[in-house]
Structure 1
Amino acid sequence: MQMQDERDMAASWFRELRDRIVAAFEALEHRGAAEVPAGRFEVRETRRAEGGGGGIMSVMRGGRVFEKVGVNWSAVHGDLSAPARAAMAARGVPGIDEDPRFWASGISLVAHMQNPHAPAVHMNTRMFWTPGAWWFGGGTDLNPCLEYPEDTTHFHDTLRDTCAVHGADYYDRFKAWADEYFFVPHRGRARGVGGIFYDDLNTGDWNADFAFTKAVGEAFLPAFLPLAERRMDQAWDAADRDAQLLHRGLYAEYNLVYDRGTKFGLATGHDPEAVLMSLPPLAKWA
């Protein structure tokens, strides 16, 4: 089960999506308040400390609209560590005890906004391969510190319409999964207003599963950009900023303690700066 052509197609598409989102975010920066210089992404290549592959790390800091945003792409391969193999064996990945090789590619995005009224957002899509199995995963969730019901509705409606094309039950299933996955147990609350999340997606039809994963990626800009455009120039005060920084503390706690992607990236030797790109530039705790 080498699937070299499929792996190449997936990696190429994730990189193309990364390029389009970076261009869209830089274009939005030029529409922000003119007294602040428009932000630009700083781009550098990343390499795994062990094994093979790497990626592109793209981070913008201190812009007109985005206080910090990262849009990373990677394609990595090598041998899984013994703990990683044990975890995958427990999930039912066939043959992982006999052959530890893996390949993975995807895009990972987190945006923290300047304006407290504009919601933070996360999105990722990925493909994972081992000699005995392959699957897709990913999703996107909205993380406002000051929630607007109409923004939440737009975000979820876009995702619902996207999912409906590919599976009648996809939205309900993957929304429920997001509600469970993005919950912060030690705080007893969700980190945001949800979205969709899925993993281990292998229906047996690679083309159909890849098409759905591409659709999730394609839905991101229509789901999020109108919200950023609507809120980026809204007036805010010190109390709004305080609420934003406190919510970022919750976001940081989740990503450092529970996020599966953070744990996998650090455990497999990927560039720690790229793995921890999701952390906010400033946060506070009460």
Structure 2
Amino acid sequence: MLRSLVDRRPVAAATCRRRLGPASWTLACWLLATSLAVASSHDRTRPQLPAAEQDRLTQRFERFVARMDERQLGRVMQLNGNTEREDRFVANEYSDYDLRVTRGPVIEKAGRMLTWGKQTNPGRGGGELRWGRFYSLDFHPRSPLVGMLHATIVLQIYTDGSAQVGGWLGVMPGTRIEADLAELRQVTDDWFAAHGKDPALYRRLICKGTDDTVTRWRRRPACVGASFYGPPVYPASVTESYAFIEGLFERFVDRYLDIVERRADEAWTAADLAAQDEMRRRWLTDQLFSDPFASKIVPFEAWSFANMPPVVKF
């Protein structure tokens, strides 16, 4: 991503000059080139995290994972009326993947992926990885009235003392029920407002993806959550940025499961099922051809088990 942004700066400026002419290009093209420089600087410069704070933050992440496994997967099992689960382990040169799936009549499939990073993935910037974790939840309700959930959070710490966090919180609807989507949007907006932050940038990122995604095959999110694969919420503090994403993650998934429970017994139509089928196909093509990490780095046997729906129809 850094290379693509940096490489585009002189190209963008030159294009501006050709189109606007020498007299008028200065301000407009300077703004364009500067905006690309700002975006690329996020990838190039990571904030420092003192050693003592590194230990506290890694322990906090591990507690969060344990809490989410117990709380969110536990709630899924409660909704489904069973505690059956299947665990798998996959590894490649970049990471080890601890995977868990539970299935049932309300949420047909709920997948969890916990990744232990072993080296820096291409596209995550330079530096030698000291500690890295990625955690995701993917829920596929039986009811086509509720879209699938995709929720992620990542923390990476490097040997030079720098660190970065990221995440993605959103739903891919089949049938759109605007009142339900408004609830999730309000959860997101309230969290940003409580911290004096503007969600606009992070909502744009969830709607359009990053420069590495392939638009033709990309998922179609409802744009009610937020993507944190961009500038940090708190540029000077990894700890505060992490706490922000962690807090929203928990609240967003809580409200999503409230909606699943509320809609579980409602009738649906053939059109609703067709919309769900289309959404699930789109999620598969996203992971195969658009998402840069699923398509190029994460092993197929890992992401297909953890985040794919139980059935994809063609």
Q: TM-score, normalised by structure 1?
A: 0.79
1:25 and 2:65 aligned:
no
Distance 1:129 1:260, change over 3 A: farther
Check the 8 A contact 2:215/2:290 in 1, yes or no: no
2:92 is matched with 49
2:200 is matched with which residue: 168, 172, 180? 172
1:12 is matched with which residue: 45, 52, 63? 63
2:33 is matched with none
The percentage of aligned residue pairs carrying the same residue is 21
1:138 and 2:167 aligned:
yes
Distance 1:190 1:160, change over 3 A: same
Check the 8 A contact 1:51/1:79 in 2, yes or no: yes
Check the 8 A contact 2:118/2:132 in 1, yes or no: no
AA aligned opposite 2:277: L
Structure with higher strand content: 1
Check the 8 A contact 2:146/2:260 in 1, yes or no: yes
Distance apart, 1:272 and its partner CA: 4.2
AA aligned opposite 1:42: R
Distance apart, 1:179 and its partner CA: 0.8
Distance 1:140 1:211, change over 3 A: same
AA aligned opposite 1:151: D
Check the 8 A contact 1:126/1:138 in 2, yes or no: yes
2:278 is matched with which residue: 226, 246, 249? 246
AA aligned opposite 2:177: Y
Distance apart, 1:55 and its partner CA: 5.1
Check the 8 A contact 2:105/2:142 in 1, yes or no: yes
Aligned length: 256
Q: Deviations over 1:147-180 (max 9, x none)?
A: 01101100100111112223421x2221111111
1:226 is matched with 258
1:209 is matched with 241
| Separation of aligned partners in 2, 1:205 and 1:101 | 19
Distance 1:51 1:147, change over 3 A: closer
Check the 8 A contact 2:112/2:307 in 1, yes or no: no
Distance apart, 1:103 and its partner CA: 2.6
Distance 1:216 1:41, change over 3 A: farther
2:229 is matched with which residue: 199, 207, 211? 199
| Separation of aligned partners in 2, 1:27 and 1:154 | 23
Check the 8 A contact 2:170/2:226 in 1, yes or no: yes
Distance apart, 1:145 and its partner CA: 0.6
| Separation of aligned partners in 2, 1:24 and 1:14 | 15
1:153 is matched with which residue: 172, 182, 192? 182
AA aligned opposite 2:76: F
Distance 1:219 1:77, change over 3 A: same
Bigger radius of gyration among the two = 2
Check the 8 A contact 1:18/1:73 in 2, yes or no: no
1:77 and 2:85 aligned:
no
Q: Deviations over 1:32-84 (max 9, x none)?
A: xxxxxx4x3414252533477x45422123x111121102223x232336xx2
Unaligned stretches of 5+ in structure 2? 1-49
1:103 and 2:131 aligned:
yes
| Separation of aligned partners in 1, 2:215 and 2:92 | 32
Q: Deviations over 1:6-45 (max 9, x none)?
A: 2232233223222211111112223xxxxxxx4x341425
Structure with higher helix content: 2
Q: TM-score, normalised by structure 2?
A: 0.72
**3-state DSSP of counterpart to 1:59:** strand
| Separation of aligned partners in 2, 1:261 and 1:219 | 26
AA aligned opposite 1:185: T
Q: CA RMSD of the aligned region, Å?
A: 2.6
Distance apart, 1:265 and its partner CA: 4.6
Distance apart, 1:214 and its partner CA: 1.7
